[in-house]
Amino acid sequence: MKCLLLFLGLFAVSAWATKSIPDEFLGKWAHEKDENFDEFLQKKGVGWLTRKLILFSSVTKVFAKDKKSNGYVMESLTSKKNVKYEGVQLGKEFTAAGMDSTKHKITFDFADGKLTEKHIRFESEGQPEETYAYYVKDGKLIMEMTNGDLVAKRYFKKA
Instruction: Tell me the pLDDT tens digit for each residue of 38-51.
Output: 999 999 999 999 99
Mean per-residue pLDDT over the chain, rounded: 90
The CATH number of the domain where 13 resides is what?
A: 2.40.128.20
Tell me: pLDDT of 134 over 60: yes
The predicted structure's pLDDT at residue 28? 99
pTM of the model: 0.87
Please, are residues 87 and 67 in contact by the beta-carbon 8 Å criterion? no
39-42: Cβ within 8 A, 24+ apart: 39/150, 39/152, 40/145, 40/147, 40/150, 40/152
The predicted structure's pLDDT at residue 1? 56
Q: pLDDT tens digit string along 95-110?
A: 999 998 999 999 999 9
Q: How many domains does the chain have?
A: 1
What is the C-alpha to C-alpha distance for residues 30 and 13, in angstroms, rounded to an integer?
37
Q: Which domain holds residue 9?
A: 2-158
